[in-house]
Amino acid sequence: MPMPIPPQYAQLASDAERGNPEAQFILSEIYRQSGDLDAMLHWLREASANGVANAIGALGQCYEKGRGVAIDPGTALEHYERAIAAGSAPAAWDKSQLLYKTQDGREQDDLIRSLLVTAAEAGVPPALRTIGYLAMQRGSDLQLARACLHQAASRGDAFSGLMLRSLPGDTAEMTGTTPIDFAAPFALYPEAPDVAKEIFNEDLPVVLFRNVLDTIDCTYLAELARPQLKRAHVINPEGDKSGMVSTVRTSMSTYLPVEALDIISRYIELKIILATGGDLRCSEPMSILRYAPGEYYRPHVDYFDPKLEVSREFLEDGGQRTASAVTYLVAPDAGGGTSFPNLDLTVPPAFGATLWFRNCDQNGAIDKRSVHAGDTVITGEKWVVTKWFRERPTSYLAN
């Protein structure tokens, strides 16, 4: 049963029932905000069938993100294409970021760029923010970055305002309608970063790559994850893949599956991949962890114990975890290092740096020297994003 419509929306509901497309779309938004996904989908489908471009695009988002339906990127893409044909600029943005994060290879680069520009020219804030971010990478075109971020911020995009303040130069003469030269260059993908490499252990490689991410990158991932954070779990040796709460691990965490990503977050992920020499296809989704003062993760391993029944499910999807890459998004003022008790080694946290280490030897056999701990945070907070790498391609990008 759908949730009851408040009396002030009675006329709207009546209009929707009589087939008014705009009323149907507005009603779907009311149900979305109230959490009644079944009713939301019903009215979205009605409005979509009646040609409301924004409803078609919103239905595509449901299929992309699994909102009330099973995740289906192909169906999402079909809806975005229909919405674009019906005149929806936001759908051009939706299609661009879906292609960017799900395609294996870069055959769609020209299309992605064209869709991004189409959406940005129409003033879609996420598209403006994305072009602004891409244009500020490696200083490729700071004028384009400033113009895009200023327009996005003027349309209420808070993160664009944050990025804008990080750029050199004056934006005082800009307005929300200042023309933007979208012919200016911006790269869709990062280059291998120029990082300093510090080797802490050679036999079982433990390496710190400095300056992998910058302040904007770190803040973006942390803010993307913040609303989804929950008490972190550990593997339950006698349970299923969902794990269990344990005093061994007291931090908060969340995963960022493909459906949670956009172009900027995938670009940041690729920076980590390029710095460490990993393979995106053989990786797991990014895992974000936040440690408050007094929180920790006791000594543990990242590899899957092949003797445990629960490990079989993990091993079937890409094989063993061969390496881990832990990137510090926020470094605490005191404490919070990563310790390797079997190596008599502690690596202090370093903002924007990636700590990479192997969990297996070169033959793929698990190496118990990789036991490590997230030491107790004493003051400040520690935020990290972890990428785990497997022997073979995983289901991470399969959808």
User: Alpha carbon of 143 to those of 161, 174, 333, 341: distances in Å?
Assistant: 15, 11, 36, 50
State the pLDDT at residue 245.
47
State the pLDDT at residue 362.
84
pLDDT tens, position by position, 116-172: 999 999 999 999 999 999 999 987 789 999 999 999 999 999 999 999 999 987 665
DSSP code at position 185: -
State the pLDDT at residue 169.
73
Above pLDDT 90, what percent of the chain?
Answer: 75
CATH topology of domain 196-390: Jelly Rolls (2.60.120)
pLDDT tens, position by position, 212-269: 999 999 999 999 999 988 866 655 455 555 554 456 667 788 999 999 999 999 999 9
Return the closest-CA partner of residue 263 out of 211, 290, 224.
224
Under a CB-based contact definition with an 8 Å cutoff, are residues 78 and 92 in contact? no
pLDDT tens, position by position, 57-111: 999 999 999 999 999 999 999 999 999 999 999 999 999 999 999 865 567 899 9
Return the closest-CA partner of residue 257 out of 394, 145, 117.
394
Structure tokens at 345: 């080694």
- More confident: 46 or 2: 46
Which residue is it, tokens 């929180």? 295
- 272 pLDDT higher than 60: yes
CATH code at 7-115: 1.25.40.10
Phi-psi region of 75 (alpha: psi -120 to 50; beta: other; left: phi over 0): alpha
State the pLDDT at residue 1.
46
- 301 pLDDT higher than 90: yes
> Domain residues of the chain, as ranges?
7-115, 123-188, 196-390
How far is C-alpha 148 from the chain's CA centre?
A: 21
Q: How many CB atoms lie within 10 A of CB 111?
A: 13
